[in-house]
Amino acid sequence: MGHYFGLIGVATIKFMFAPFYGLAFHLSFIETFICTFIGGLISALIFYWSAEFFMKRAARKRMEKINKAIEKGKPLIHKRKMSRVNKTIVKIKRSIGIWGIALFAPLFLSVPLGSIISAKFYGKDKRTFWIILLGLVLNGFTITSLAYAF
């Protein structure tokens, strides 16, 4: 029973590598796939539906930093930083759209971060969460198959 919860826990954070833990725990293919999917599902539910909270919290922290600088008498010109990661995310968003972001961001970044990014860009689209779930099923099956093939 502990192996199942361990695998679910790993899948909530690093979905891409979770099936290899199932293999190490000597679980069957279907047990590994189901535990991996459940872990990804739990993480996606929590972080997709609470993404607005995290975005508001980040904005509030930025404003607090600006207000502290103003209180100290230091004029602060706040310019948005366009990092290499941000540029890459925007380029991907423009090129592959909702399907690419919702299907692959949870896989390659992590389920929490990918779910938050998907919600940020496409949270108002009702299909987004369902596409994330489809991605978890397809990616989970593919990675579990790869883990058990080798």
pLDDT in tens, 119-139: 988 989 999 999 999 999 999
Q: Count of domains in the chain?
A: 1
Cα–Cα distance measured from residue 144 to residue 96, given in angstroms and rounded to the nearest whole number: 25
CB of 101 within 8 A of CB of 133? no
Q: What pLDDT shows up at residue 147?
A: 93
Is residue 71 included in any domain, yes or no?
no
Instruction: Measure the CA–CA gap between 62 and 142, rounded to whole angstroms.
Output: 40
Residue 76 in any domain: the answer is no
Per-residue pLDDT tens digits for 21-51:
999 999 999 999 999 999 999 999 999 999 9
Return the structure tokens found at 39: 């872990």
Q: What distance in Å separates the CA atoms of residue 74 and residue 70, rounded to the nearest whole number?
A: 5
pLDDT of the residue at 78: 59
Asked if residue 75 has pLDDT above 80, the reply is no
Res. 140: pLDDT tops 90: yes
Instruction: Tell whether 57 is covered by a domain.
Output: no
* The predicted structure's pLDDT at residue 66: 80
74 in a domain, yes or no?
no
- Decide: 135 and 102 in contact? Cβ < 8 Å: yes
Say if 64 falls within a structural domain.
no
Q: Answer yes or no: is 80 within a domain.
A: no
Question: Domain range for residue 137?
Answer: 2-51+85-149
User: So what's the pLDDT on residue 76?
Assistant: 63
> How far are the Cα atoms of 24, 117, 132, 134 from residue 129, in angstroms, in the given order?
31, 12, 5, 9
Confidence of residue 71 (pLDDT cuts 50, 70, 90): confident
Answer whether residue 58 is part of any domain: no
- Average pLDDT over every residue of 79-107: 82
The two structure tokens encoding residue 122: 């496409």
User: Does residue 126 belong to any structural domain of this protein?
Assistant: yes
Query: pLDDT band at 70, cuts 50/70/90?
Result: confident
